[in-house]
Amino acid sequence: MLTEQFFNLLLDLDENWSVQDIAVNDDDEEVFIKVSYVGHQVREPDSKVMRGIYDHAPERKWRHLDTLQYKTYIQCRLPRVKTDDGNVITIIPPWASKHGRHSYLFECFAIDLLRVTKNQTKTAELLRCSFNVINRLMHASTQRGLARRDLDHQPLNHLSIDEKSFKKGHHYISVLSSPETGNIIDVVEGRSSKAVEELFDGALTTDQQKAVQTMSMDMWQAYRNVTQKKMPDAEIVHDRFHLVKYLNDAIDKVRRREVKSEEELKNSRYALLKNPQNLTQKQRLKFQAIQNANYQVSKAWQVRENFKDLFKQKPGKAEGFALFTQWTQNALGKGIKEVSKVIKTFKDHLAGVVNALVYTASNGMAERLNGKIQAVKCSGRGYRRFKNFRSAILFFHGGLDLYPLKRQ
């Protein structure tokens, strides 16, 4: 009797429920807590009307938190009621959801453990359950979190969109995130215009789309086109790190062209591409020698540094356009074909490039989130199905309320 009272206390059951028996299977190290409904009336799940018990459903069991080293299950024949329409409905127990096979407490612990291990297989091993159980819990908690999320009360002034590789080859996902919260709003498979429209419409309402003031992105055409279509009032800001990367690539192309005839340029790649403050002593000496020799690659390097200096000015739009124009004229005057090609690309995306000088918005947070997505991908040893990948990304980095709410 003391054992039943002890488990009554642990389960925190009200006066209508009572632990009737405890069965132990020593061979399989399992404990079965047999619970019965002892009240005379029960509340109908939908109408909340109190009704007499019609009969009891067949016995079910729910996995609960372990009792010491023993796996523990709750067993119960749930009461059923008959509605005014003649339908027979099974009531929902206080320890689990309507169709759940696990108690709320077990699910909460599984969520906590999965967040720590970041691996579904390891979590399943620690909980001594199947991978499918953890996978289903992850999907269910992610969908629950998305249903609860209220973006109307989250900052949407600035958003970022970026791509991330999904599978080998040219398979990508598009990631919509909020730099202000550091959370991923949603992801979609692909980076076509159709996929981006699906991402925006699925994640944001029309009013929420109108609330976006700036959208940072790289120069992928589909991102720009769909943003202009769906958020015509939002300023497109091309990510400064991507812009500098274009100039870094130009520097490296010039170096590879000149190294064929200039011995001094051998083994100089990192000396030219790294930030000056990060150079080793050997790289600094190499860099200084290249600068003094006045190669085209050193001129290309100076073009990049001049461009980076524009971001320190924090200009308005008119001044930003003037500064960019002055920079392009100076850069084109160097007569470096690789640099001239980059400038043409920048001019084709003029508004977004100038906005990069004006606004502080960038894809810096999006790039950090991409690194976290890569960690999720590596921990799962890759994902064959996008559905699983999306759930894992949003589970770990969506900032969602994942936990089940215990019914009152």
What does the DSSP assignment read for 77-128?
--EEEE-TTS-EEEPPPTTS-SS-SB-HHHHHHHHHHHHHH--HHHHHHHHT
Tokens of 87: 């339908």
Task: Answer yes or no: is pLDDT of 369 > 60.
Answer: yes
Q: Confirm if 383 and 392 have CB atoms less than 8 A apart.
A: yes
What is the average pLDDT across 319-340? 93
Res. 79 pLDDT band, cuts 50 70 90: very high
- The pLDDT tens digits of the residues spanning 215-232 come to 999 999 999 999 999 999
Comparing CA positions, the residue from 77, 21, 51, 95 lying closest to residue 404 is 95
- The pLDDT tens digits of the residues spanning 97-109 come to 988 899 999 999 9
Which helix (DSSP H) or strand (DSSP E) does residue 218 occupy?
none
Ordered DSSP codes for 258-299: HTTT-GGGTT-HHHHHS-GGG--HHHHHHHHHHHHHT-HHHH
Q: Give the pLDDT of residue 78.
A: 95
Q: Give the pLDDT of residue 293.
A: 57
- The pLDDT tens digits of the residues spanning 380-389 come to 776 888 999 9
Task: Answer yes or no: is pLDDT of 273 > 80.
Answer: no
Q: Give the pLDDT of residue 407.
A: 43
In sequence order, the 6+-apart residues with CB closer than 8 A to the CB of 231 are 200, 209, 210, 212, 215
Which amino acid is present at 24? V
Tokens of 313: 């000015």
User: Given 3.30.420.10, 3.65.10.10, 3.40.50.300, 3.30.930.10, which CATH number is that of 106-239+364-403?
Assistant: 3.30.420.10
Whole-angstrom distance, CA of residue 179 vs CA of residue 159 = 6
Task: Answer yes or no: is pLDDT of 270 > 70.
Answer: no
Q: Give the pLDDT of residue 408.
A: 40
Tokens of 179: 């730099």
Q: Give the pLDDT of residue 162.
A: 93
Which amino acid is present at 336? I
Phi, psi of 197 (to 5 degrees): -60, -45
Phi, psi of 386 (to 5 degrees): -60, -35
Q: Confirm if 164 and 139 have CB atoms less than 8 A apart.
A: no
Stretch among 32-36, 81-85, 265-269, 274-278 having the lowest mean pLDDT: 265-269
- The pLDDT tens digits of the residues spanning 187-215 come to 999 999 999 999 999 999 999 999 999 99
DSSP annotation of 43 reads: E
Tokens of 368: 């950090």
In sequence order, the 6+-apart residues with CB closer than 8 A to the CB of 327 are 306, 307, 310
Is 336 or 275 the better-scoring residue by pLDDT?
Answer: 336
Phi, psi of 233 (to 5 degrees): -90, -10
- The pLDDT tens digits of the residues spanning 111-142 come to 999 999 999 999 999 999 999 999 999 999 99
What is the average pLDDT across 31-54? 90
Q: How far is CA 402 from CA 213, 383, 390, in A?
A: 29, 22, 15
Whole-angstrom distance, CA of residue 159 vs CA of residue 215 = 5
Comparing CA positions, the residue from 267, 283, 285, 264 lying closest to residue 275 is 283
